[in-house]
Structure 1
Amino acid sequence: MADQTESSVVIDSAPGTVLDVIADFERYPQWAGAVKEATVLEEQADGRAARVQFTLDAGAVRDTYSLDYTWDFADDSTGQLSWQLGESGVMRTMDGSYRLASSGTGTKVTYTLAIDLRIPMLGMLRRKAEKTIIDTALTELKKRAEQR
């Protein structure tokens, strides 16, 4: 991904627990504030989501979009989940990833994101929006995974 924003957090939960939270897309509306609905549209042969449709309401940005997922994880649940934008009314690009790595007794999660909207936006404002999205997502993921 070119021109992306990245941030990390350490979550006091095992990689398997964090991965389970990330992979449970249909529960995102319960803990990810801007996600109002999430539906798995396609699954891979192993049962993991291949395409997911989201309905987002982040105040100024409202959209229904789909993401196509690629899973690359070891048996210990460390690895990477990547996605690319499938369809969207507002975005041209929404590519990103979660990288999970063991960190002491917890998990270091690194989130990368690159967004390009159909409406013009200064690069500085776009990066600030990406940073806000990432920081919010990591905070919400941390809270959810540590409650398990």
Structure 2
Amino acid sequence: MADESTQSIVVDASADEIMAVIADFPAYPEWAAAVKQTEVLDADDANADSNRAKKVRFTLDAGVFKDVYTLEYDWAADGREVNWNLVEGQMQRMQRGTYRLDPQDGQTKVTYTLSVQLVVPMIGLFRRKAEKMIMDTALKELKRRVEGS
């Protein structure tokens, strides 16, 4: 089993506002610098209230790391957590992640957990460092997008 990395940030917004940004995959290229394109492949049409994406393809360009990959999402009924798993990828063998939102006095603590295994082997220390950098950037970009809108 792969190691996981976890990081948190406090965002000055409600959990609903944050989850709305997380769930708006077509807008990712506007605020997530490494994400160049997204395509929702499958959505939950059964629940018209949420209409959350179930499967999304991402085109990523983070300098040395470029990939096209598809993630499958599982949304918690309470709207406070979303989990995802890699369905297919060019450079990744496995990706598992979670955003968990915990409301706290008018703000929300966002906790991001991520585990990635690349097709090319990478020393554990470097992989964890890369995961932490990805999470730090993602959390800061998410915070900026939510608080700026």
What is the TM-score of this pair, normalised by structure 2?
0.94
CA distance in 1, matches of 2:23, 2:122: 31
- What is the distance in 2 between the residues matched to 1:50 and 1:19? 15
Equivalent AA in structure 1 for residue 136 of structure 2:
D
Give the TM-score of the pair, scaled to structure 1. 0.95
Deviation (angstroms), 1:104: 1.1
Superposed structure 1 runs of 4+ greater than 6 Å apart? none
Counterpart residue number, 1:88: 89
Map Cα deviations across residues 63-102 of structure 1 (whole Å, 9 max, x no partner). Answer: 100000000042xx4x210000011010001100000110
Q: How many residues align?
A: 145
Which amino acid letter does the alignment assign opposite residue 30 of structure 1? E
Aligned to 1:116: 117
Q: Counterpart amino acid of 1:25? A: F
Whichever residue aligns with residue 57 of structure 1, its letter is: D
Where does residue 53 of structure 2 map in the other structure? 49
2:41, 2:57 within 8 Å by CA — same for their partners in 1?
yes
Aligned partner of residue 13 in structure 1, secondary structure: coil
Which consecutive unaligned segments of at least 5 residues does structure 2 have? none
Give the root-mean-square deviation of aligned CA atoms: 1.0
TM-superposed CA distance for 1:142, in Å, is 0.2
In the other structure, the counterpart of 1:145 is 146
**Matching residue within 62, 69, 85 for 2:66:** 62
Secondary structure in structure 2 of the residue aligned to 1:56: strand
Give the equivalent residue in structure 2 for 1:100. 101
> 1:36 — aligned with what?
36
> CA shift at 1:3, angstroms?
1.1
Unpaired segments ≥5 residues, structure 1: none
Q: Distance in 2 between matches of 1:84 and 1:39?
A: 16
